[in-house]
Amino acid sequence: MLKRLVMIALWMITPSLGFSAERVLIVTGEDYKGHRWQQTTPVLKAAIEVDDRLQVDVLDDLTKLAATDLAPYRAVVMHFKNYDANVPGRAGFDALSKYVHHGGGLVLVHFACGAFQECKDDFEKLVGRVWDPKLRGHDPFGPFTVRITDHDHPITAGMSDFETDDELYTCLAGEVSIHPIAVARSKVDHKDYPMAFVLTVGKGRVFHSVLGHDVKALSVPAVGELYRRGTVWAAGLKQDKGASP
């Protein structure tokens, strides 16, 4: 009887001892005035944490980015567009760049492509494409189809084309080699533009998507799934098929 009780006790505590969540950090705290990061951040956090292997922390003070220890995190999610060249500043950028080059994962959300304009050339090398204010920004807000262009990539394998109400960005510029995994066709100029793409930088992985203007856009199930899968991939983990919404 005693032996049985001991075995039951060990079975009960083993999951808690054996399970260690993979930590992800969302960095936010500033954005274009039409992007309400205070509302979208919880939606993004919840979408990522559908995969119960992931534990998401939030840093909403950009002044602290440069001094934050990123080493415990498998991926960092950029959900900000800074307007002050000194916040998070060059030191903040260098911290992110070093983190990725050493093997950390990086995820960019929507207008994060417009961050770090003060070191735009280096930022482009890190994230593949950046906002160019000289280009047309986006189609009028409204419905469009996102088409999956790589059905074999771990992020998009098994996903189908989907509809969303969002801003179809046409403002990305850059010469760095990227691998688009989802595109959308503009109703204005009838050209295809990347909605999600990936690249590797040093030892790290970068997942970059321009979807997610507001709570409604981020709440589209396929958009949430894309960000969850993108974060999992950037973190160097295998996809958890059971976590799909």
**Domain ranges, residue 187:** 21-236
Residue 41 lies in a domain: yes
- Give the pLDDT confidence score for residue 3 in this predicted structure: 47
* Domain assignment of residue 39, yes or no: yes
Check whether 2 has a pLDDT greater than 80: no
- Does residue 14 belong to any structural domain of this protein? no
**Please, which pLDDT band fits residue 67 given cuts at 50, 70 and 90?**
very high
> Taking 80 as the threshold, does the pLDDT of residue 96 lie above it?
yes
| Whole-structure pTM value | 0.90
Question: Number of folded domains in the chain?
Answer: 1
CATH number at residue 191: 3.40.50.880
Can you give the pLDDT at residue 218?
98
What is the per-residue pLDDT for 20?
A: 74
Average pLDDT, the chain: 92
Q: Per the domain annotation, does 2 fall within a domain?
A: no
Give me the DSSP letters along the chain: -HHHHHHHHHHHHHHHHH--PEEEEEE-S---TTS-HHHHHHHHHHHHTTSTTEEEEEE--GGGTTTS--TT-SEEEE-----STTSSHHHHHHHHHHHHHTT-EEEEEGGGGG--GGGHHHHHHHHS-EE-TTS--BSPSEEEEEEES-SSSTTTTT---EEEEE--B--EE--S--EEEEEEE-TTT--EEEEEEEEEETTEEEEEE---SSHHHHTSHHHHHHHHHHHHHHTTPPP-GGG--
CB 233 within 8 A of CB 77: no
Return the residue matching tokens 């199930």: 221
Is residue 245 included in any domain, yes or no? no
Percentage of the chain with pLDDT > 70? 90
pLDDT of residue 33 exceeding 50, the answer is: yes
